């Protein structure tokens, strides 16, 4: 049965994160490794480890069980080896087939060989994991410590060889058909309870861990280059555990330096008490530590899905540009004379989209309608309207907006600066209004949440550049004190998110430029008239549709990682739909004070709204 923090987190995010209609979906997990991935293989063979261990080297389940649920162990029936999860990890396993001081324990080469010999295969949607190398280091440390003068050189050889073994086995798995391979590096073993009480031992162990991780990264890069059809994903356990040790409370731990089983109050306490410790024994995490590893593995593995909210940055730039452009065209059309204007402007937009998220490897896809983007902006617009001859009016405006936006796991504070200009030509009751403009939106305080709440991806600012053009035509039909105006409009808008690199402890992503653009057409019926000598009312009702649009894929890649670059489909450009608007204006001497609202309500619960209060002054 699946259970756990990882799956609960993944499932709960369905209610708040905008994924596409499709999702990354994996069928099962096949894992190889040592005690960190052992669901009870060593216990089945030897009865070790004893209580208070839970048949595993921890107080509950291990990370792979949290991520993918239960699975066939090393001794399972060959008849079902390709039909579900398979967990071949053994406590004490080395990265080679050398004799093990703990007995006849199969190292990872033997585990892989046994799986393949029993008819094991890898499906296109299987995930294969490999986590090994720590036991090679542990078993070599006593020899190194006995010869301090050569200890570093000796351990360098041990660590480099172990890392090479793991890298070679990754290549073997890829050759055997594995299409997605997850490889964990080692945490800083010198900071574990078994080694952190001695400066000398801790220093040597930390050094050796660093050599292993560096050599592993080099080897995995070579394996990835040699097997370009396999996605080899590195999971940075070292950085994650170092961050936890540096800030235990931030991750929900009260003790990260002692082994729970050496503290009476911990080992005899409740599971909650035990899981307040990071380490169960000298080197193995508690169940809470394993849950964190599962979440971390999921964060790396599901990166293409978990970064979909970044698409909001281009989409908001596009919708904001459209809204400002529409208001500029409306302002020119409504202009009845010359003058300066200053407006207090507000804009709000949101759109639903369908998302699907797998609740762990081998789990179901949960789908829901969620917000693709949701933003609110406020600011000012200033400009002027000037007559050119008897039939033409020229106008321009500068708009500055700021506010908040969010989409999926991403939050940011946008600041938009735009410039628009236009001409309105009306030789009689017919008119043509043409406008064009451009703007830059700078998103500051960018933050992307991860499956581990304390880890956030950040960027100082991300820029989106946008431009647009619009032409509309119609005629005024007078009806006493009221005028009814049919309008047809054609508009184009484009916004491009500039590529950027996130900063974060784990799973940071570098993104490429992304463009959203569309050509839209609309028809409106506008009406305006006087309520009194100095008070006017206006309204609009219409419909707008996207005639041709393009949302480029969201393209990115995990930074400093062998994982393949990804391109995520973002769906269609949103269709604006029904248009409604209302305005009220009061003239006072040489001034005109007006309030306007305009909104579009389209498919996928898309809503884009602008409101403004303006003060116009005649020349």
pLDDT (tens digit per residue) in 417-467: 999 999 999 888 899 999 999 999 999 999 999 999 999 999 999 999 999
Q: With CA atoms as reference, report the closest residue to 68 among 356, 278, 298.
A: 298
Strand arrangement, sheet containing 72-73: 72-73, 86-87, 28-33, 126-131, 180-184, 231-235
Mean of the per-residue pLDDT values of the chain: 90
Beta bridge partners of 582: 539, 597
User: Which pLDDT score, from 0 to 100, does residue 600 have?
Assistant: 85
Beta-carbon-side half-sphere exposure of residue 557 (alpha carbons within 13 Å): 11
User: Which pLDDT score, from 0 to 100, does residue 348 have?
Assistant: 85
Question: Which residue's entry shows tokens 């628009």?
Answer: 420
User: Which pLDDT score, from 0 to 100, does residue 617 have?
Assistant: 67
Q: Running DSSP on this structure, what letter comes out for residue 503?
A: B
Q: With CA atoms as reference, report the closest residue to 9 among 1, 17, 19.
A: 17
Q: Is the bond into 371 cis (omega within 30 degrees of 0)? A: no
Q: Running DSSP on this structure, what letter comes out for residue 175?
A: H
Within 1-52, where are the H helices?
5-12, 41-46
Cα angle 507, 509, 515; round to 5: 150
No. of helices (H) and no. of strands (E), the chain? 13, 25
Within 47-105, where are the H helices?
63-68
Question: What CATH number matches the domain at 308-358+366-618, 1.10.3720.10, 2.40.128.130, 3.40.50.970, 3.30.420.40?
Answer: 2.40.128.130
User: Which pLDDT score, from 0 to 100, does residue 102 have?
Assistant: 59
Q: Running DSSP on this structure, what letter comes out for residue 187?
A: -
Flag residues of the chain having pLDDT under 50.
Answer: 1-22, 619
- Measured CA to CA in angstroms, residue 100 lies from 44, 66, 90, 96, 165 at distances of 18, 28, 12, 10, 16
Question: Which residue's entry shows tokens 């064009």?
Answer: 436
pLDDT in tens, 8-39: 444 344 333 322 333 589 999 999 999 999 99
Question: Which residue's entry shows tokens 């000398």?
Answer: 200
User: Which pLDDT score, from 0 to 100, does residue 329 have?
Assistant: 84
* φ, ψ (nearest 5 deg) of residue 341: -145, 145
Q: With CA atoms as reference, report the closest residue to 396 among 347, 485, 324.
A: 324
Residue 88's CB is within 10 A of a number of other CB atoms, namely 27
pLDDT in tens, 322-380: 888 888 888 887 776 778 888 888 888 888 777 777 888 998 887 766 677 889 999 99
- Do 315 and 581 meet the contact criterion of CB atoms below 8 Å apart? no
Tokens of 307: 């970064």
Torsion over CA of 128, 166, 234 and 255, rounded to 10 degrees? 100
User: Which pLDDT score, from 0 to 100, does residue 606 have?
Assistant: 78
User: Which pLDDT score, from 0 to 100, does residue 23 have?
Assistant: 58
Tokens of 313: 């940055």
Domain residue limits, the chain: 28-285, 308-358+366-618
Tokens of 98: 């050398």
Residue 101's CB is within 10 A of a number of other CB atoms, namely 11
- Do 350 and 373 meet the contact criterion of CB atoms below 8 Å apart? yes
Cα separation, 65 vs 3, in Å, equals 8
- Listed in sequence order, the residues at least 6 apart from 269 whose beta carbon sits closer than 8 Å to its beta carbon are none
Per DSSP bridges, beta strands 591-601 and 607-617 are antiparallel
To the nearest 10 degrees (0 to 180), the angle between helices 287-301 and 237-246 is 130
Beta bridge partners of 279: 259, 285
Per DSSP bridges, beta strands 577-588 and 180-184 are unpaired
- Do 20 and 309 meet the contact criterion of CB atoms below 8 Å apart? no
Q: With CA atoms as reference, report the closest residue to 84 among 65, 97, 102.
A: 65
Tokens of 441: 């939106």
- Matching fold, domains 28-285 and 308-358+366-618: no
Cα separation, 476 vs 528, in Å, equals 10
Q: Does domain 28-285 have CATH number 3.20.20.70?
A: no
Using left for φ > 0, alpha for ψ between -120 and 50, and beta otherwise, residue 177 falls in: left
């Amino acid at each position: 049965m699946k259970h756990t923090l990882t799956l609960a987190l993944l499932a709960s995010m369905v209610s708040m994160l905008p994924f596409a209609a499709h999702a990354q979906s994996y069928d099962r997990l096949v894992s190889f490794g040592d005690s960190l991935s052992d669901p009870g293989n060593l216990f089945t063979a030897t009865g070790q480890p004893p209580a208070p261990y839970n048949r595993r080297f921890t107080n509950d389940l291990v990370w792979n069980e949290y991520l993918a649920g239960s699975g066939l162990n090393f001794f399972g029936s060959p008849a079902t080896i390709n039909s579900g999860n398979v967990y071949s990890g053994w406590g004490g396993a080395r990265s080679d087939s050398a004799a093990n001081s703990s007995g006849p324990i199969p190292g990872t080469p033997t585990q892989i060989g046994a799986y393949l010999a029993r008819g094991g295969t890898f499906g296109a949607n299987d995930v294969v994991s490999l986590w090994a190398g720590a036991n090679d280091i542990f078993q070599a440390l006593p020899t190194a410590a006995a010869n301090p003068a050569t200890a570093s050189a000796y351990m360098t050889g041990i660590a480099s060889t172990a890392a090479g073994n793991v890298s070679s086995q990754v290549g073997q798995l890829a050759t055997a058909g594995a299409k997605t391979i997850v490889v964990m590096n080692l945490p800083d073993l010198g900071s574990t309870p078994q080694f952190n009480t001695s400066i000398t031992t801790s220093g040597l162990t930390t050094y050796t861990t660093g050599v292993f991780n560096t050599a592993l990264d080099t080897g995995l890069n070579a394996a990835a280059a040699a097997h370009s059809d396999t996605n080899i994903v590195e999971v940075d356990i070292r950085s994650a555990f170092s961050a936890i040790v540096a800030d235990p409370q931030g991750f929900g731990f009260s003790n990260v330096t002692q082994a729970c089983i050496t503290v009476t109050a911990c080992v005899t306490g409740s599971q909650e008490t035990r899981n307040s410790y990071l380490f169960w024994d000298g080197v193995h995490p508690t169940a809470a530590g394993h849950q964190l590893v599962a979440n971390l593995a999921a964060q790396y593995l599901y990166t293409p899905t978990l970064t979909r909210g970044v698409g909001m940055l281009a989409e908001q730039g596009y919708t904001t540009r459209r809204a400002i452009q529409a208001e500029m065209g409306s302002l020119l059309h409504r202009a009845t004379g010359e003058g300066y204007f200053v407006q207090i402007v507000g804009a709000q937009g949101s759109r639903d989209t369908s998302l699907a998220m797998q609740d762990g490897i081998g789990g179901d896809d949960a789908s829901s309608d969620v917000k693709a983007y949701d933003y609110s902006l406020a600011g000012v617009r200033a400009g002027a309207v000037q007559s050119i001859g008897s039939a033409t009016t020229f106008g321009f405006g500068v708009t500055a907006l700021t506010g908040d936006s969010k989409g999926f796991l991403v939050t940011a504070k946008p600041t938009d600066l735009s410039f628009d200009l236009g001409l309105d030509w009306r030789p009689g009751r017919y008119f043509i209004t043409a406008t064009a403009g451009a703007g830059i939106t700078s998103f500051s305080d960018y933050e992307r949440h991860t499956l581990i709440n304390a880890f956030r991806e950040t960027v100082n600012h991300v820029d989106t550049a946008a431009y647009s053009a619009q032409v509309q035509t119609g005629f005024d039909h007078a009806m006493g004190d009221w005028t009814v105006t049919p309008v047809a409009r054609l508009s184009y808008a484009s916004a491009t998110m500039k590529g950027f690199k996130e900063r974060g402890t784990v799973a940071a992503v570098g993104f490429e430029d992304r463009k959203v653009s569309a050509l839209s057409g609309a028809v409106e019926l506008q009406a305006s008239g006087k309520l009194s000598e100095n008070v006017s009312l206006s309204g609009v009702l219409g419909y707008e549709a996207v005639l041709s649009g393009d949302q480029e894929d969201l393209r990115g890649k995990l930074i400093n990682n062998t994982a393949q670059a990804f391109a995520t489909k973002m769906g269609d450009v949103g269709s604006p739909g029904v248009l409604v608007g209302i305005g009220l204006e009061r003239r006072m001497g040489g001034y005109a004070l007006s309030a306007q609202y305009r909104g579009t309500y389209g498919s996928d619960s898309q809503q884009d709204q602008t409101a403004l209060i303006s003060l116009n002054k005649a020349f």
